[in-house]
Amino acid sequence: MAVTVVTGAGSGIGRATAQRFARRGATVVVADINEETGRDTVAEIVGDGGLAVFRRLDVANLEDWESFTDWVCTEHGVPEVVVNNAGILIGGGFLEQSGADWRRMIAINMMSPMIGSRLFVRAMTEAGVQGNIVNICSVGAFMPTAVGPSYVTAKAGAWLGTQALRAEFGSQGIGVSAICPGLIRTSLAANGSRGGMSEGESAAWAAKLGSGHRHFGRSPDRVAKAVERAVRWNLATVPVGIEAWLGWFAYRLSPSLMRGVLGLASMSLADRGVALSGSLFGGKKR
């Protein structure tokens, strides 16, 4: 039976993707740094009659990646689908974010999908498996903005790295796709942080942002459907949501116009929006 690996599968897009592929009959390897939520995903899949196993993975740790890849291939065989989904959000302007913020963002949002792709593509080519690599990027990859610059930088790197991987291995029967969602209802914002603030202030900022995030955007299953479509048709780039499609085409049409429009935004304006979100939606669950 086909094996699918999904990182960051403890919630949101990762969980929806794991569930979707399990319903298709795949054995899903649920990977997450959070053991509780990862095991919850497995329990939901098994409860619905699917097959899934959990393995803890810190995607920022190379040694963890290497042992994880070896374990998957030894215990379950070389996977046919690998979805690199794990990611974080750090807000704050270019200089507000510390060097540690930038390094952590690059390690998780850019390097981890590249490392996961490299390790599993090597396993696929050595085993003669014509599999699929799917990297969850973001419309942020096409949005040069002062609001979360480390985030968009990392996502742009992940997107371009995915295209480079596709150029090299596409002719060898390995499908490579980048999924670029717009606004999706996940816990990304609530679990995020804000550079330039104390730990307590950052947590309060993330809570306010997350309270609004719960009420706007699309279901994570929209992205899971896009992943399934990308695997089926071997699509290079798949925006999800009208704002993602607009961002994709606008940046391709005129990068300078896109920079000019996005330059109107600032972290001070974003912070006011976060505060308003907290006052309107704080405490309201959906």
Q: Active-site residue numbers? A: 151
Gap between the Cα atoms of 149 and 143, Å rounded: 9
Sheet with 27-32, edge to edge strand ranges:
51-56, 27-32, 3-7, 81-84, 132-136, 175-181, 237-240
* Contact (Cβ atoms closer than 8 angstroms) between residue 140 and residue 184: no
Q: For residue 195, what are the contacts with CB-CB under 8 A and spacing of at least 6?
A: 90, 91, 92, 93, 96, 97, 98, 101, 150, 202
* Contact (Cβ atoms closer than 8 angstroms) between residue 83 and residue 158: no
* Contact (Cβ atoms closer than 8 angstroms) between residue 226 and residue 236: no
The most distant pair of C-alpha atoms in the chain lies apart, rounded to whole Å, by 55
* Contact (Cβ atoms closer than 8 angstroms) between residue 212 and residue 281: yes
